[in-house]
Amino acid sequence: MLQDLQLASDEGPVYRRLADAIAERITAGTLAVGDRLPPQREIARALGINVTTVTRALSTLQQRGLLEARPGRGTTVAARNGGEGPGFVSAPSEDTGVIDLSVNRPATSAYLDALALLLPRLSKDRHYVTLQDYHPPEGPLWAREAIAEWMRPAAGDGDPGRVVLAAGAQHGLDCVLGAVTRQGDVVLADEVTYQG
């Protein structure tokens, strides 16, 4: 089941590399729903690592919803929700204390765990290289074509020339206002609207 388990040789923490290696086995189907993992001491002995490291890795996988542990039954691969796919999810955070709400960003631990699973797949995606390139202001054609096709039932012709990608909500609002107003026009907004 976990024979020949290889940890990535990067600089990341060992517990995270172990969690990622087990998660890859679950994703690949090598570990199926209901499969019981060996005891933590056996995993630690086989890999030559500390039991505490194994405990932390398995706890991380429980937070991701990939494993479940029950007293007397051991740790097993959890059933997945059919409606949920991969992506950024809100999981219980290992961070304790004050949560910084001064910036708009996801909870760090859940975000990093999800990102660690996403990046290997993203790097193999055929569009990954183009994500690093400069794009035309209206967005890359392949993305506009996909959006236009998706919007065809509601928007008609599916013309990618009618699609413009915005770099966030503020940029999108600026584009819309620029399209429907002229210089010197007055725009009214309520007092709680962000003026930026």
What is the structure's pLDDT at 115? 80
What is the structure's pLDDT at 86? 45
List own/partner pairs for 114-122 with CB under 8 A and 24 or more apart.
Answer: 114/64, 114/86, 114/87, 114/88, 114/89, 115/88, 116/12, 116/16, 116/20, 117/20, 117/23, 117/27, 117/64, 117/86, 118/86, 118/87, 121/86
What is the structure's pLDDT at 81? 57
As a whole number, the mean pLDDT across the chain is 81
* Average pLDDT estimate for 22-33: 87
pLDDT above 50: residue 82: no
pLDDT band at 121 (very low <50, low <70, confident <90, very high): confident
Give the range among 19-23, 81-85, 123-127 with minimum mean pLDDT.
81-85
What is the structure's pLDDT at 98? 62
What is the structure's pLDDT at 114? 79
pLDDT above 70: residue 101: no
What is the structure's pLDDT at 180? 94
- Each residue's pLDDT tens digit, 143-194: 999 999 999 888 778 889 888 899 888 888 888 888 999 999 998 878 776 6
- Each residue's pLDDT tens digit, 32-56: 888 999 999 999 999 999 999 999 9
pLDDT above 70: residue 84: no
- Each residue's pLDDT tens digit, 128-146: 776 677 778 888 888 999 9
Domain ranges of the chain: 14-77, 131-180
CATH code that applies to domain 14-77: 1.10.10.10
